[in-house]
Amino acid sequence: MKMDRLLTRRGALIAGASAFAAAGTAGLTSLLSTESPSAGTAAGASGRAAGAPGAPGGARSSVSTSYRLSPVAGFAPPASRPARTPVRDEPFLRVGGLGRTVVLTFDDGPDPRYTPQVLKTLREHRIHAMFFVCGNMAKANPDLVKQMTDEGHVIGNHTWSHPLLTRLSRSAVRSEMERTSEVVEKTCGARPAWFRAPYGAWNRDAYRFGAELGMEPMAWTVDTLDWRTPGVGAIAATVEKQASPGAVVLSHDAGGNRSQSVQALRRYLPRLLDEGYHIAVPRRRAA
């Protein structure tokens, strides 16, 4: 009788060990999968949904199993730290690797007189652009900043009050940049990833503080000179003649009377599209 109980207990232990080994093999197979991170994330979400209590076909997901076993097996992923933004000594002038693409940028806003008209034109053509906002304007018009983000545009930092940075103290430069990033973050939920110096006047402090705030510097290759109000035709002609793959176009949606800028956009944007250009915004990692 004692021998029977002993054999029964021994059989149970062997069966349990076999089941654990099988589960461990399944877990390692999942962990060493060659799926890309995005595909793995999607598969994980799908697996969790399928294994949820009450879900149709409520089988347990192999993802959840591997998650439980990975600390035991020593395969827990290492904690990652966000990479630092490099301190550069010159701004980006063009956007490479995008083919026949042009980037449209608008400075100094948002202005309730002109920014809504710019947004309307971009929306009609299903185009995204970059808006380098001034902090004082963003604070005064948070709904427009929020609308830019909601419609897929990229928000950049253009300082708080549009000063000439090369004439400011280091603390003043940092304050101009930091306050603007804080207002954008408060309004949109994320800090700007790009920075543009007013008047294109860069210095070491602008590059260093921009990097510390998680921003890359961006200038331009096509200056419409719309701030001079040269006429709708002149602004449009500048863009059409100087457009090239990777070009960054500078216009303004604030800082003065920008009615010519608005009308010129309506003229040159469809022409660029007809010529086969794609209008896009640069993407980069979250800082």
Asked if 89 is an active-site residue, the reply is no
Q: In DSSP terms, which residues pair with 131 in a beta bridge?
A: 106, 155
Q: What is the DSSP letter of 97?
A: S
Asked if 253 is an active-site residue, the reply is no
Exactly one of 107, 205, 226, 253 is catalytic; name it. Answer: 107
Do the Cβ atoms of 159 and 135 come closer than 8 Å?
Answer: yes
Do the Cβ atoms of 95 and 129 come closer than 8 Å?
Answer: no
Do the Cβ atoms of 166 and 203 come closer than 8 Å?
Answer: yes
Exactly one of 153, 158, 162, 252 is catalytic; name it. Answer: 252
Distant-in-sequence, close-in-space partners of 176: CB < 8 Å, separation ≥ 6: 135, 159, 160, 161, 163, 165, 168
Rounded-to-integer distance, Cα 26 and Cα 47, Å? 14
Q: Which of 214, 220, 178 is nearest to 193 (CA)?
A: 214
Rounded-to-integer distance, Cα 237 and Cα 253, Å? 18
List active site positions.
107, 252
